[in-house]
Structures are given as C-alpha cells and as structure tokens.
Structure 1
Amino acid sequence: MTQAFDSLAAMPVQLPAAPADEAQARARFFNSGNAFNLKLPPVPAGQFDAVAAQALAATHSGWWACDQSAAMGQAGPATTPLMLARYAHVAAGDALAFDLPATAAICYVIRGSGACRGGADLVRFEAGDVFLLPGGSACSLHGGAAGALLWMVDNQPQLSLEGARPGPAEASPVATVHYPAAEIERQLSLVTATAAGAGTSGHALIFSSQQQQARRNLMPSLTLSLNTLPPRAQQAPHRHNSAAITLVLQGEHCHSSVDGQACGWQRWSTLVTPPGAAHSHHNAGGVQARFLIVQDGGLHYHARTMGFEFLGA
C-alpha cells in the first residue's frame, strides 16, 4: 500500500522496496519538495584577533588555525566552507614539516625569514614576500636566524568535501611561485599611479602565475589580491557570492562593515566576509591601508556565478 503524506516536503527520504544487491540498497530518493529545503549553518563573519595574538606571541613552532568548522557543521578544520586560513610559526633554526592535502597554499610572510621546500622547489623567503606552495607532497618550513611567522590559506575543505587528494606534481595546475616583497612594491606602485575606473573597487594588485595567466587567478579555485585604501577614504559597499578571508597588513583607524556590523581592524588579524554579505572597508586614518584578500572566486568565475555588484549608498 502506498503511504500518504500531507505534502511532498513532509515526505521523508525513500529507500528501494526490494534491492537485489548492495549497490541497489544504497539508493535513496528525494522529491521536488524535500530535496531543496536543506538548511546549512551560515558562514560566520569571523574575526580572529585572539588567534593572531597567540601566533604573534609564540616562541615554539606550530600552527594556529582560524577554524569555524563547528559553527558551519563541517567535519574538518575550515575558515569558510571551501578555505582554511592558518598562522604558522617556525622558531629560529627549527623546521616545521607538514602534509598539504590541498591543491596549493597561498603564503604571506608576516615577519622573519627562512626557507620552504615543497616538492623539487626551495623558496628562500623574507618578510613581506608571497609564495604559492603546491600540495600533494611533504612540505617543510625552516626558520631563519630570528624565526618566521607566516599566514597561509589553502583549499583543504574544498578537496575534503569530495574526499579528494591533490594529484601528482607533474599534472598539477599550479607550480611553486615566489613574489618577493620588493617586486610586489614595484607592481603596486604601477597600479596606484594609474587612475581606477568607475567600475572597479579601487586600487588592488591581483596575483597570478604563468600556469594560471589565462584565468587571471593564482589557483584554479582561489584568488589573491592586495587591496589598498587611501587615507580618509572608503571602499564602496558591495557584495559577491565568493567568501573572502582578509589579512590586515597596515592601517590606522580602519574597519570593515559586514551586513551593517562594524569590525575594527587589528594588524595581522584575519577577518571573514561571508558569501553574499553586503560589506565595505573604511580608512579613517592618515596612512594608506593595505589588506590581503583570498577568495574562492576562481570557482565562481568558472561557474559564471560571481555575482559582484555595487550597492546603493
């Protein structure tokens, strides 16, 4: 006898009536009323001042994750559904070995110096450098004479969603890329010396690579930009479908507004802008503000779902 339900939405998941084997027994059935009403926990507008302070004060080698997995109902560490941000401190003369189960990691050197080995490449880094570290193999960070503190963002949560692992290095869509601080400054000066068009969100330097040049991204799924705000200026309110993870590099009396809530900036702190949230950045101080932003924008560009729009004042 067919069971009656008040509505399609009230119907629970259905199982096969008489499966002939285990493959058939794994089948499940939903309908147009109950398949699309799944409510996932929202992405919090995180602010990781305390995590940053712990990493800045560390004397031993280790990791400090900006983890919001519990609030989002995810099994593994995650800052947003598809990205994980962490601080890594390496004591002077010490080494921090790790596995990187991600396509790659975007790394910014907050202070100190050292070297990083990933695969066949060795990057010797200084404060202010950015480098891209491919995943899929054993990696190691080595602290220089004064140690090193780095900020790293990768797409581990994206891969873990499907139980995936990065492929072999020879088939990887990314390779090691190093952006020294002096070259970043040179490139940024070219950008800030040129007038920004009305359709842009201000003066920002976008990082890419030889492999990803056609897509204008740093990774297939993640984008990295160094954004700036002149003294006593603000970025126009806007929204986009990608989530954003921000590292505050410099600024005085700065804050972000996320869905109407003010988030004061602390240098070297990590901020999270949820996908679709109306937000803007404000610089009430007398020096240029700078902030690094990693987004899962590559996925949205590929899917044609970026949804960037400026909002009315």
Structure 2
Amino acid sequence: MSTADDMAEMPVQLPRNPANEAEARSRYFNSGNAFNIKLPPVPGHIFVDEPAKAMAMEKTGFIDCDQSDQMQCGFPATTPLMLARYAVVKAGETLDTTLTNTASIWYVITGKAGLVVGAEKAALGKGDVFLLPGGVASAITAEVDCVFWAVGNDPQLKFDTSVPVTGAEAAVAFVHYPAGEIAHQLDVVYSANANASTSGHALIFSAAKTEAARNITPTMTLSLNTLKPKSFQPPHKHNSAAITLVVSGDPAYSMVADQQCDWSPWATLVTPAAAKHSHHNDGKTRAEFLIVQDGGFYYHARTMGFEFY
C-alpha cells in the first residue's frame, strides 16, 4: 500500500502476486497520477536554414525539419504526428525514397527527375506534386540537380510502432499531380467566387482511394492555398497541426500565436494544433503556399474545431 496522501503523488501500482508473465506485465495508475504528465508544447516555428541548405545542393540526401528535442520525442518529428523534410538529388544520382510511413506527400521545388514506385514510373518536373505509399520500394533518379519537399506521417507510425500496409489493402496508392494540371485545376477554382464560409481560393488534393473523405491520405490533408495581392486570411484556428511550404509571396508573413513569421523562399512553417494564426500577403502578386495537416484524424473524430476569430 502507498503511504502518499495525494493520489497524484502515488507511484505506479504493480500486481501483487502475478501468476505468469502476462499478469506480471500489468500496471495500474489512478485518476490523479495518470493525467498529470506535462508534455512540452509543440513549437511554432519557421524553418529557414534547412531550405537554404537544400538549395545549396551539396549532396544527395534528406534534410529533416526536426523538432523532436523540443518536444522530448524519441524520433525525428516536426509535429507529434508528422515529419517534414527536404530531399536533394544530385544530377545522375539516385535517392531511395522507401519510407516507413503510411504515405508521404512530395513537391518538386526544382529540377527534373525520374521516379520509380514499385512497377510504376513517372517523369517529374518543377511544381509537380506526388503521393508515395509507405513501405513500397521507390527511388528518384535526377536528370539535373533536384530539390524536393516532403511531409509524411512517419512519427505516427513510430509512436504506435506500426508498419505500413502494402498491396491491395493499402490505404494509399501512388498518385502523380503534374504542375500543368495543378495550374489548370486552380484556375477552375478561381473561376468561382469564394463566400464568407470559405477561407479564400484553395485547391484541395485528393485521390481515388480517399475521394469520399476528400483527403489525400486517411490522416493527412493537402491544400494549395492562395492570397490575392494586398490581402490576408483572417485569424483562425483548428485542432489539426499544420506544416506549410512557402511557394511564393513577397513580402508576406504569418502570425502564429502573436509571433510574426516572415516568409522566405521555400521556408517551412509549423502551426501547432489549436494555435491562433493568420496569413498575410503585402505584395503585388498572388501568394501561394502548400499546407499539409493531420486533419484526417480530426474530421473522422468530428473534432476539427475550425473557427475564425
């Protein structure tokens, strides 16, 4: 029996006389000490050194946007459930992109390359987006020096010690969104008027397997958001974390929890879950930014919590 006066101060309770290994592995807490773990907050941050390093194109490999130390996380992570990374592939070289996640969302910042995903192939160019299924052998071979940006749910699988499901039962298949088709589809969106209930003109990416949920993967969403010149997206919040790639916008910035994050080319912005934030375009041309969220979780749980201030 514990001698602690307060339940919250009690240590873990162990089984008294376990009869076997299965019983010996049991542990018990209470309504005081089970919920008093204090996790460090997810930092709101804009990564600028990592894209600068990637654009220097010194060697083939990955450059992670890693905040695991600040979050006291035992594996690379940008947010608790997502990892953003830049990838450099030097001309004539090949990068293995077989990753341990459900899926990863990729954007071609610059270059031309060939992509092999299992038995499928694609030619990649600047501005393309593609979706890679996790656990499926894939590789990029560059024709010229290339830089990519990618976000996957690697930390989600690390946290759960899970492995990707592949084959016919996989939740995700390889999808290629060429830059020309993206531009056309965005023009279609701009041909319609936005109303007060929408957050401006944005192109939402989906796929055949996830069309019903209107997500690109079961847990992640991808949108190409835009801001017209001299405009801003009003302050808002949502329960999903967001990882944003600055595609264009000068000068432009975001406000995250009252902190101004100035945009720079190909910077990665982290917006923590439930943080008040807004995006501002002070320039004379349209701003564009790619946003990946772990919103699929919250849509499925009916807890997205999107609201404008």
Q: TM-score range by the shorter chain?
A: over 0.9
Amino acid at match of 1:236: P
Tell me if the contact between 2:57 and 2:147 (Cα under 8 Å) persists in the aligned partners.
no
Which residue does the alignment assign to 2:23? Answer: 24
CA distance in 2, matches of 1:85, 1:103: 14
Identical amino acids, percent of aligned pairs? 54
CA distance in 1, matches of 2:41, 2:244: 18
Structure 1 residues 1-313: aligned runs within 5 Å: 2-144=1-143, 146-311=144-309
CA distance in 2, matches of 1:127, 1:155: 24
CA distance in 2, matches of 1:259, 1:60: 36
CA distance in 2, matches of 1:90, 1:177: 20
CA distance in 1, matches of 2:190, 2:230: 16
CA distance in 2, matches of 1:170, 1:134: 12
Tell me if the contact between 1:84 and 1:153 (Cα under 8 Å) persists in the aligned partners.
yes
Amino acid at match of 1:59: E
Tell me if the contact between 1:136 and 1:169 (Cα under 8 Å) persists in the aligned partners.
no
TM-score (norm 2): 0.98
Displacement of 1:46 after TM fit? 1.8
Displacement of 1:22 after TM fit? 1.5
Displacement of 1:147 after TM fit? 2.1
Tell me if the contact between 1:237 and 1:278 (Cα under 8 Å) persists in the aligned partners.
yes
Q: Deviations over 1:108-156 (max 9, x none)?
A: 0000110111222212111000011111122211101x22111011111
CA distance in 1, matches of 2:167, 2:271: 32
CA distance in 2, matches of 1:3, 1:133: 52
Q: Which runs of 4+ in 1 moved over 2 A?
A: 2-5
CA distance in 1, matches of 2:287, 2:194: 16
Q: Secondary structure at the match of 1:248?
A: strand
CA distance in 2, matches of 1:228, 1:71: 31
Displacement of 1:168 after TM fit? 2.1
CA distance in 2, matches of 1:28, 1:34: 13
Query: Residues 114 and 304 of structure 1: is their aligned pair in 2 closer, same or farther, counting only changes over 3 Å?
Result: same
Stretches of structure 1 lacking an aligned partner (at least 5 in a row): none
CA distance in 1, matches of 2:97, 2:124: 18
Amino acid at match of 1:31: N
